[in-house]
């Protein structure tokens, strides 16, 4: 499959310039197109202003901003889009006739292989596709505002979109670091289907006099555990957008309940925003009505989305958490409230809206069981099984459910004679960003260490299913792989990365040590000195350094990932997975680690001393000493001892892994472990007491 490499965005307004900015940030050359030079200039100025703010916040350096801006080429006139562009995304007004006129011009200007996409929040993708000369190379996209910051995108294939088109566009979106929901072409798609009526329902509650804007917002924030209520959100995005969207859904879904409330219509006609005062308190009865009406509406519509097979319930929740930044998705909230109670609320709303709830909702409520979520997806093609860890809203962090599900999938694949190669990948921008830290904090505070041990031991078992698999195992670490995620990747035979790959063991900085094989496999892959550099100081490892150390076995361009996996599938398992030395000993990090983290220097380093022959004022040396000084002392010592044990146990990996498990109670029993893990959740720097 040929990846998307060149992109054009038609429309230089807020959405178009935002999509162009994000595309350029991820190192794609991008054309930003509009009718007149003044609009192109405005779009480029918008990008430059936002990137300037990012420099002030130290997100980007000035050099990085210059490189990003250099990738954006202004183009005047749709007819002047480069003919060989891989993907053109239209981002003009939400008007069917305007959009189809753009596509008619693009059909003439672009080559046969160019994929066309429409950024739309409401229009029928099937109808738009039929208005082009290439419906098989057409998809809908719904980027969420602001597209350079919001991580969600809905990909909406038309009925005629080819599988290759869908796959290429989905891959492009993933390369932007987006969380992708592929959904059916139905009015509102996924998020707006439940979110827009939610806004309108708040307006109806206001009309009925149940509460004021401030009271309804406050109750909504409490009921959904969110930061902004419906009226504040409408003020942020614009009430006219809410009115247009809800009227569109009312018409398309033939649901009069969604017709824009008179209070909303009057507000839009007057051209003002909602007035929201500071009086948020309301009586208990009113608060109950507000909460149950808003919750019931979301529950009922979410069930409809799943019943209509627009997407899975996991994706509904994902859309809420990533696109709307809710703490929990609709189905997770239902589980927390109890399905019987959730069904009661949904039934009450469905009666108001005059539609029937899907039968499966009542059946599940009567069963007494919660909704069950699946976070591991498998696609099998020509002997290659691709296992996607699909929890991108949490950067695929390893929790009990994901680990258990992954273990079950690996059991099935390891025993499947039709599978030759197993490929692990993560949905979204991360491969796996470590383990679920909140789990550890909760268990420590509850004095439930056996739960921590069982979780970690289960993790060892799952990683051993990769380690000892009769299949060739590959980790596509094309994004972030941190802590437990890096340990998961190291259990595989091969690790394929791109320039976007980044690795780190953060454990000693948060009061613990890598407990899923990180102290053992790292030594066996790249040698004890390089492992000390990576594990003890918690250094970030970029893709080139990771390749030099052997953490990455393959460093390729994004366009070469698929071909690399095919090549690995052909060649099979490696002759020697554990070489015990850096792939490139001459690399600056390899050479520095060999000298600085030598056996003779370790006693001093563990007590904060600069080794003989090194200058503490040297930038690299000073950085290492500073990093070591910020670790938890007990975690640093125990991690160092475990790294040494990897050398002592040699070829007996099983013995080394057993030592990691044997020391778990000692490390998690320290006050520093609770302090470090808690500080990570709370976003503060920990204070260690060596206790």
Enzyme catalytic residues: 121, 142, 154, 192
Residue 143 has what DSSP assignment? Answer: E
- Beta strands 502-504 and 554-555 are unpaired
| Cα 177 to Cα 642: distance, rounded to the nearest angstrom | 35
d(CA 428, CA 178): 5
Please state, in angstroms and rounded to a whole number, the distance separating the CA atoms of residues 75 and 87: 15
SS3 content of the chain, % helix, strand, coil (to 5): 55, 10, 35
Q: Tally Cβ neighbours within 10 Å of residue 132.
A: 21
CA distances from 505 to 464, 539, 547, 634 (A): 20, 7, 16, 16
Spatial separation of the C-alpha atoms in residues 382 and 278, rounded to whole Å: 62
> Which residues lie across from 502 on neighbouring strands?
480, 542
Of the candidates 516, 463, 460, the one whose C-alpha atom is nearest the C-alpha of residue 493 is 463
Q: Which of 321, 392, 432 is nearest to 173 (CA)?
A: 392
Contact residues for 319 (Cβ-Cβ < 8 A; gap 6+): 152, 154, 181, 190, 191, 311, 329
Rounded to 10 deg, the angle between the 653-662 and 633-649 helix axes is 160
Q: Are 505 and 518 in contact (CB under 8 A)?
A: yes
SS (H, E, C) 5-71: CCEEEECCCHHHHHHHHHHHHCCCCEEEEECCHHHHHHHHHHHHHHHHHHHHCCCCCHHHHHHHHHC
DSSP states of 661-689 as a string? HHTHHHHHTSHHHHHHHHHHHHTS-----
- Rounded distance between C-alpha atoms, residue 404 and residue 594, angstroms: 38
């Amino acid at each position: 499959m040929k990846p998307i490499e060149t992109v054009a965005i038609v429309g230089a307004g807020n959405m178009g310039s935002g999509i162009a900015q994000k595309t350029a940030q991820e190192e794609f050359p991008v054309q930003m197109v509009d009718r007149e030079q003044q609009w192109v200039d405005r779009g480029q100025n918008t990008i430059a202003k936002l990137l300037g703010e990012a420099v002030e916040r130290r997100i980007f350096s000035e050099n990085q901003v210059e490189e990003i801006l250099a990738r954006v080429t202004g183009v005047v006139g749709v007819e002047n889009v480069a003919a060989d562009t891989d993907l053109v995304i239209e981002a003009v007004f939400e008007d069917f006739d305007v959009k189809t006129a753009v596509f008619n011009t693009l059909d003439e200007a672009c080559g046969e292989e160019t994929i066309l996409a429409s950024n739309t929040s409401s229009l029928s993708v099937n109808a738009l596709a039929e208005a082009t000369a290439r419906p098989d190379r057409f998809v809908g996209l719904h980027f969420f505002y602001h597209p350079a910051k919001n991580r969600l995108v809905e990909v909406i294939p038309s009925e005629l979109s080819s599988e290759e088109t869908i796959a290429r566009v989905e891959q492009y979106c993933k390369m932007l670091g987006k969380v992708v929901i592929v959904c059916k072409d139905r009015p509102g798609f996924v998020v707006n289907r439940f979110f827009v009526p939610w806004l309108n329902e708040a307006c109806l509650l206001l009309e009925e006099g149940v509460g004021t804007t401030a009271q309804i917002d406050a109750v909504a924030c409490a009921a959904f555990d969110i930061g902004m209520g419906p009226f504040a959100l409408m003020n942020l995005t614009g009430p006219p957008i809410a009115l247009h969207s809800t009227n569109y859904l009312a018409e398309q879904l033939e649901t009069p309940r969604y017709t824009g409330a008179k209070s909303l219509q009057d507000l839009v006609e007057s051209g003002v925003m909602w007035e929201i005062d500071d009086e948020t308190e309301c009586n208990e009865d009113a608060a109950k009505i507000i909460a149950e009406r808003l919750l019931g509406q979301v529950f009922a519509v979410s069930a409809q989305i799943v019943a209509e097979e627009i997407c899975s319930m996991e994706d509904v929740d994902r859309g809420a958490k990533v696109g709307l930044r809710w703490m929990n998705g609709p189905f997770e909230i239902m589980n927390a409230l109890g399905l019987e109670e959730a069904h009661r609320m949904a039934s009450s709303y469905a009666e108001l809206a005059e539609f029937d709830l899907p039968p499966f909702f009542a059946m599940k409520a009567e069963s007494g069981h919660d909704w069950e979520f699946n976070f591991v997806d498998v696609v099998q093609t020509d002997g290659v099984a691709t296992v996607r860890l699909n929890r991108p809203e949490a950067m695929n962090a390893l929790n009990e459910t994901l680990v258990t599900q992954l273990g079950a999938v690996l059991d099935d694949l390891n025993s499947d004679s039709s599978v030759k190669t197993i490929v692990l990948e993560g949905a979204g921008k991360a491969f796996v960003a470590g383990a679920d830290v909140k789990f550890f904090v909760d268990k420590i505070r509850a004095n439930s260490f056996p739960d921590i041990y069982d979780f970690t031991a289960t993790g060892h078992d799952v990683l051993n299913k990769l380690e000892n698999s009769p299949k060739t195992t590959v980790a596509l670490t094309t994004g972030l792989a941190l802590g437990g995620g890096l340990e998961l990747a190291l259990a595989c035979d091969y690790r394929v990365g791109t320039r976007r790959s980044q690795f780190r063991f953060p454990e000693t900085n948060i009061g613990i040590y890598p407990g899923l094989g990180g102290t053992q496999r790292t030594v066996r892959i790249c040698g004890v000195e390089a492992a000390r550099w990576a594990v003890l100081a918690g250094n970030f490892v970029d893709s080139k350094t990771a390749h030099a150390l052997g953490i990455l076995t393959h460093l390729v361009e994004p366009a070469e990932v698929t071909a690399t996996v095919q090549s690995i599938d052909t060649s099979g398992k490696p002759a020697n997975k554990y070489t015990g030395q850096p792939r490139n000993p001459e690399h600056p990090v390899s050479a520095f680690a060999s000298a600085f983290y030598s056996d003779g220097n370790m006693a001093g380093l563990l007590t904060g001393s600069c080794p003989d022959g090194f200058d503490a004022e040297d930038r690299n040396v000073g950085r290492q000493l500073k990093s070591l000084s910020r670790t938890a002392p007990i975690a640093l010592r125990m991690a160092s001892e475990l790294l040494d044990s990897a050398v002592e146990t040699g070829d007996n990996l099983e013995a080394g892994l057993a030592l990691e498990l044997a020391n778990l109670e000692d490390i998690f029993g320290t006050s520093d472990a609770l302090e470090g893990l808690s500080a990570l959740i709370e976003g503060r720097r920990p204070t260690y007491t060596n206790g």
